[in-house]
A and B are shown apart, each in its own frame.
Chain A
Amino acid sequence: MALADDTVLYRMARAESLSIVHLDSFSAVYHRASGITHLITAPAPEILATLGEAGMTRAALLDRLARDYALGDADMDVLRERLDELVATGLVSRA
């Protein structure tokens, strides 16, 4: 399980399928594929911005978030929860 988990790549939904507007501490995201509007807050916008479409493992993502956004309390389990939520919305996919 741990091994498989480490190799899973997370990808942001195709950039052309999203419209992201930064409002304040929240961002509004229109997902063209589903026609659904999402309101997301930290660390979800940062996760989307970091993942990109190329894809990234959870460990690599955690490193980048900690470096780029000074998320000192970043934690693999919490990150997994946030990623699972984003996967459920369709804004992130697992490969």
Chain B
Amino acid sequence: MNHQFSVAIGPVGFRIGSDWRAPIAQLETLYRAYPKPTDGVPDFTVRLFAARPWRRVLRPSVMIGGDFVLPEAAPLPLAQGLLAAEMGMNLQMALGQRRYLLLHASVVERDGEALMMTGVSGAGKSTLAALLSLRGWRLMGDEFALLDPETGQLHAFPRLVSLKNTSIATVAAEAPADRFGPLLEGTPKGTIRHFVPDAHAIATMIQPARPALILFPSFGFEPAARDVAPSEVFVRLTQASTNYVALGERGFDALTKLVTSVPARAIDYPDTASAIAQVEAAWAAR
């Protein structure tokens, strides 16, 4: 590939190769504070390539390749090359990660203990993680929680936070402009803007934390909260995991230990202030 970039995010190393310079330049800018993979050896490789040779220049369209691919994935326009790279990195994790039980969740940490937030797309887990990271919490990740079956601890995976649609303005109102990537409009997920984790989150990203609370946030409802039974947490988290089945009994053991030892709450919230207040209340009562 003509252009290359490598980066370590938490315990995982990536190499991204691209037919074009532009997505690599954006990655270099946004991931400038991140280290390189240990010993220079990446765990996963992502390739951004032209569907046909002439499509490098003529209506350039980016195909996502790598160690693991989704054959039916549609190409993206070059203007969304950064999104293609991020999707490619997520895809390698979702399909290839075997060391950790992968849960679709955002994670923040305070005083060495981790708060995990999971839910359907649009529930607000990325937005909440970004907002909490602006209020003294350490951002451990907005997309994947990495549960270590050996230790029961959560490892950080603080890649760029993918903010969508209205949450972009919500976070932009509180964070400096130089923490944001380009505005990507008309993507398959609507308008997306990447938010760079703060220096502390990056500097401490190899430090795991003990899970202390699991939250299921739902945006768009009147404030409400309820306990969630371990069996419901178990079912929801198997559905929120991309590699539960692949991990076999290691996944079963890790997940049953998590749901029987960590309390879980569902919170509904109509706005940011209510969300933050409910998170803090649930954290205090854990």
Interface residues of A (CB under 8 A from B): 19, 21, 23-26, 28, 30, 32, 35, 37, 39
**When the two chains form their complex, are residues B231 and A39 in contact, meaning their CB atoms are under 8 A apart?**
yes
Q: Which residue of A lies closest to B249 (CB)?
A: A30
B269 to chain A, nearest CB (A): 26
**A21 to chain B: which residues have CB within 8 Å?**
252, 256, 260
B266 to chain A, nearest CB (A): 15
B238 contacts the other chain (CB 8 A): yes
B228 to chain A, nearest CB (A): 10
Q: Which residue of A lies closest to B231 (CB)?
A: A26
Report how far A37 CA is from B252 CA in the complex, Å: 8
Report how far A39 CA is from B253 CA in the complex, Å: 14
A4 to chain B, nearest CB (A): 37
**When the two chains form their complex, are residues B249 and A19 in contact, meaning their CB atoms are under 8 A apart?**
yes
**When the two chains form their complex, are residues B234 and A19 in contact, meaning their CB atoms are under 8 A apart?**
no
Known: A37-B238, A39-B235. A23 touches B248 (CB 8 A): no
Interface 1/0 per residue, B208-252 and A, CB below 8 Å:
000000000000000000000111001100100000010011001
Report how far A28 CA is from B230 CA in the complex, Å: 10
**B interface, by DSSP: helix, strand, loop or mixed?**
helix
B259 contacts the other chain (CB 8 A): yes
**When the two chains form their complex, are residues A35 and B234 in contact, meaning their CB atoms are under 8 A apart?**
no
A-B pairs, top 10 by smallest CB distance, nearest first, are: A26-B231, A21-B256, A30-B252, A23-B230, A23-B231, A24-B229, A24-B230, A24-B231, A28-B256, A35-B248
**A interface, by DSSP: helix, strand, loop or mixed?**
strand
**B260 to chain A: which residues have CB within 8 Å?**
21, 23
**When the two chains form their complex, are residues A28 and B229 in contact, meaning their CB atoms are under 8 A apart?**
no
Which among A19, A23, A24, A26 is the interface contact of B253 at CB below 8 angstroms?
A19
**A39 to chain B: which residues have CB within 8 Å?**
231, 234-235
**When the two chains form their complex, are residues A25 and B231 in contact, meaning their CB atoms are under 8 A apart?**
yes
B239 to chain A, nearest CB (A): 12
**A24 to chain B: which residues have CB within 8 Å?**
229-231
Q: Which residue of B lies closest to A22 (CB)?
A: B260
Which among B234, B245, B248 is the interface contact of A28 at CB below 8 angstroms?
B234
Report how far A35 CA is from B230 CA in the complex, Å: 21
Report how far A21 CA is from B251 CA in the complex, Å: 13
Report how far A37 CA is from B249 CA in the complex, Å: 9
A7 to chain B, nearest CB (A): 35
Q: Which residue of B lies closest to A20 (CB)?
A: B256
Report how far A23 CA is from B234 CA in the complex, Å: 9
Pull 15 A–B residue pairs with CB atoms less than 8 Å apart, ordered by A: A19-B249, A19-B253, A23-B234, A23-B259, A23-B260, A24-B231, A25-B231, A28-B252, A28-B256, A30-B249, A30-B252, A32-B249, A35-B249, A39-B231, A39-B235
Report how far A37 CA is from B230 CA in the complex, Å: 15
**When the two chains form their complex, are residues B256 and A23 in contact, meaning their CB atoms are under 8 A apart?**
yes
